[in-house]
Structure 1
Amino acid sequence: MQASKRLLAALALTVLGSTAQAADEVVVYSSRIDELIKPVFDAYTAKTGVKVKFITDKEAPLMQRIKAEGQNATADLLLTVDAGNLWQAEQMGILQPFTSPVIDANIPSQYRSSTHSWTGLSLRARTIAYSTDRVKPEELTTYEALADKQWEGRLCLRTAKKVYNQSLTATLIETHGADASEKILKGWVNNLSTDVFSDDIAVLEAINAGQCDVGIVNTYYYGRLHKDNPDLAVRLFWPNQSDRGVHVNLSGIGLTQYAPHPDAAKALVEWMTGPEAQAIFAGTNQEFPANPKVAPSEEVASWGAFKADTIPVEVAGRRQAEAIRMMDRAGWN
């Protein structure tokens, strides 16, 4: 039923794309779930009168749809998660570069495309989660150290098929090179307490239940679970604080190659990087604002400050194929 609704919505938007769209609307293809982005778009419409229509689906079908539509484009913007996906969209030729002093002032360069094809909107750290019952935080140091003998039979991981782990691996390769990174991955796989999980919530629940003691997760999953269960016996640890810092990735947005309303779309993106929209993102999504001038939510702030890795996030895309091959060789499935 949900797929049928998406298809009908897509067909309706195609009809829109084949005729002149209203000048006071923007169409967004989004891989983020509706409830995470609707408050932002509703606020923009209330402020400007510009309607924001959006269709949600997985990132791959959305990118293929934009590619297939070509010059008969419906979507003005592509909104998705992970710099690896945005980099892939850029390589497919479905995004166009655009410069904006507003965006440049709002979002640090490491969270923007070097070709100006996309910008980050919200941030998430992929960090270590640990059991408060069985692990002391002083036992933890770095991502790399989770490959040590100390953690044998104590580690939980999400599947390597998810882009979040591919991006983390890409930054390991960028930092350590191929040989050292593959050794780290093999150490992680050797230390697994059980088969890999399909999502981060399952990793956190496994730690809480005693199935494993440590794992690697995106922070917003922890925020959602902790909000529902304040007694969760799991906490976050910020690794690599004495060297490169915590791996940070993002959700981001790009202007499609044949956007019907590029000026209106640019105006929306500029607003989404500003204080009002960033505060909504922070409060709704349990994520960090990409704009450093905007404070995180009270829940997110309670996790404590950390030093973030300064590697440009587009490295996640550039090294993605290499990372996938390496994960496969290491036995991370």
Structure 2
Amino acid sequence: MKAAINKKILLAVLALAASSGHAQENVLNLYSARHYQTDEQLYANFTKQTGIKINRIEADDNALLERLKNEGKNSPADVILMVDAARLWRAQIEGLFQPVKSRVLDSRIPDNLRGKDDGKGAEWYGFSTRARVIVYNKANVNPADVPTYESLADPKNKGKVCTRSGSHPYMLSLIGSLIERNGEAATEKWAQGMVANFARPPRGGDTDQIKGVASGECGVALANSYYYARLLRSTKPEDKEMMSKVALVWPNQNGAGTHVNVSGGGVAKNAPHREAAVKFLEYLASDEAQGYFANGNNEWPVVASAVAKNETLEAMGKFKTEKISIATIGKNQIAAQKILDRVGYK
């Protein structure tokens, strides 16, 4: 009798475990530094197509990285999304990703927009791109004087240049690109020239730099393209007036091309739902998802066949992009920070 009861209990436990395991297959825990309203439809469509429910934790990159480190092996994260190569590289070296072998991802995501691959698969993939552009005051600056990133350090632009903090990941990634293009010595000389040309000490975000250019406090500034596009799309009268006073330059069109960065992600090291995580990354590489993923923040798809139906981006025109590996740019951020420290680029 007792043996029969124990057997029933064992069968019940096994049935519960099996049903729980089945339920878990339909769940994806997403840690995301993206926080755009248009992403809601992106996630809803994935659930509609696959039946996999997405549980989200959203915070800025630093907060997510700290949380993942604190959670360690017990982390419930399945997928980690970050918004800059420097941050993706940091997550990579801290061992927060696991490699993924996927024919879908490998066939659709360009080689230079992936994390390292030691033969076991890439640790992360870029899913949308943004450009680091030069914004200038149309009344006070001749665009011919600022055609390249390097030209911003020219003495002719003394007292005109504004940027956010040099230690911000957007700037570290740009400087990492310049190191790869020009070498550390030349990049340090460039950084010295930038400091000498500042109109004001680095402060604020990219939108603040554009506002500074419009007001005339700055003659020229660096900003990510999506900030520029966002303000162009704004219906606020004050934004329309501001944008009427500025214009942009796609830097280095006669050379290596404009620096581009990525918003991307990978499968978390201890993902409890690895299969669902890979499905989600492959979904992000689909033409449909690429449109949502890029348009949510006025970016460009990374998949050649995908189209971003964004009139503002189209009006901003075509441009030549650099072909440097995003993974290499992220890796160069250590050297970039040392250069900034040496020249006093705060």
| TM-score > 0.5, shorter chain as reference | yes
1:15 matched to which residue of 2? none
Contact 2:39–2:292 under 8 Å retained in 1: no
Q: Which among 172, 177, 187 is matched to residue 171 of structure 1?
A: 177
How much has 1:275 moved relative to structure 2?
0.5
Residues 27 and 54 in structure 1, CA contact (< 8 A), matched pair in contact too: yes
Q: Residues 146-169 of structure 1, C-alpha deviation per residue, up to 9 Å, x if partnerless?
A: 111111111111111210101111
1:291 is the counterpart of 2:293: no
Structure 1 unmatched ranges of 5 or more: 1-18
**Residue in structure 2 matched with residue 301 of structure 1 by the alignment:** 314
- Aligned residue runs from structure 1 range 41-80, under 5 A: 41-80=43-82
TM-score, normalising length from structure 1?
Answer: 0.90
Which residue does 2:167 correspond to in 1?
161
2:214 maps to which residue? 208
**What is the rounded CA distance, in whole Å, between the counterparts of 1:314 and 1:235 in structure 2?**
30
Q: Distance in 1 between matches of 2:40 and 2:93?
A: 28
Give, in angstroms, the shift of residue 124 of structure 1: 0.5
CA deviation vs aligned residue, 1:89-135 (integer Å, no higher than 9, x gap): 11111110011111112111110113200000111101111112222
Identity %: 36
Distance in 2 of aligned mates of 1:269 and 1:33: 17
- Contact 2:81-2:266 at 8 Å conserved across structures: yes
* Residue identity in the other structure for 1:126: R
Give the structure-2-normalised TM-score: 0.87
Query: After alignment, is 20-29 or 121-130 more displaced?
Result: 20-29
C-alpha separation in 2, matches of 1:88 and 1:210: 36
How far does residue 35 in structure 1 lie from its aligned partner after superposition?
2.2
Q: Which moved more, 1:130-139 or 1:114-123?
A: 130-139
Give the direction of change, closer, same or farther, for the CA distance of 1:139–1:34 in structure 2 (3 Å limit).
closer
- Count of equivalent residues: 315
Cα deviation digits, residues 193-230 of structure 1 (max 9, x gap): 11212200000000011111111110011111121234
Task: Render the CA deviation track for 1:57-96: whole Å, top value 9, x for unaligned.
Answer: 1222322322333332311011011111111111111110
- CA apart distance, 1:140: 2.7
- 1:146 paired with 2:148, answer no
1:94 corresponds in structure 2 to 96
Indicate which of 138, 142, 156 corresponds to 1:136: 142
What's the secondary structure of 1:35's corresponding residue? coil
Matching of residues 1-16 of structure 1 within 5 Å: none
| Residue 128 (structure 2) aligns with | 122
Q: For 1:238-262, what per-residue CA distance to the aligned partner results, in whole angstroms no more than 9, with x for missing partners? A: 1111111111001101101110111
Match of 1:112 in 2: 114
Residue of structure 2 in register with 1:324 after alignment: 337
Deviation, structure 1 residue 28: 0.7
CA contact (8 A) 2:167 2:340 kept: no
| CA 1:138–1:111: 2 relative to 1, 3 Å | same
User: Which amino acid is 1:161 matched to?
Assistant: S
Whether contact under 8 Å (2:136, 2:213) holds in the other structure is: yes
- Report SS of the residue matched to 1:120: strand
Verify the 8 A CA contact 1:84 1:316 in the aligned structure 2: yes
Match of 1:265 among 265, 277, 284: 277
TM-superposed CA distance for 1:34, in Å, is 4.7
Structure 2 counterparts to residues 268-279 of structure 1, below 5 A: 268-279=280-291
Contact 2:180/2:329 (<8 A) preserved: no
Change (3 A) 1:278 1:95: same
1:49 CA drift (Å): 2.2
Paired with 2:227 and 2:174, the residues of 1 have a C-alpha distance of 16
Taking the aligned partners of 1:238 and 1:32, their CA distance within structure 2 comes to: 25
Contact in 2 for aligned 1:34/1:56 (Cα 8 Å)? no
Choose from 193, 197, 205 the match for 2:203: 197
Alignment of 1:13-28 (within 5 A): 22-28=24-30
- The one-letter code sitting in structure 1 at the alignment partner of 2:273 is H
* 4+ runs deviating over 6 angstroms: none
Offset of residue 179 of structure 1: 1.3
- Report the residue type matching 1:309 in the other structure: E
Contact 1:153 1:191 in 2 (8 A): yes
1:14 equivalent in structure 2: none
Answering whether residue 255 of structure 2 is matched by residue 243 of structure 1, we say yes
Return the offset for 1:36. Answer: 5.0
In the alignment, what sits opposite 1:254? 266
- Shift of residue 186 of structure 1? 0.8
In structure 2, the partner of 1:85 is 87
Contact 2:85–2:330 (Cα < 8 Å) also in 1: yes
Distance 2:113 2:303 in 1: 10
* Equivalent AA in structure 2 for residue 238 of structure 1: W
The alpha carbon displacement at 1:22 in A equals: 2.4
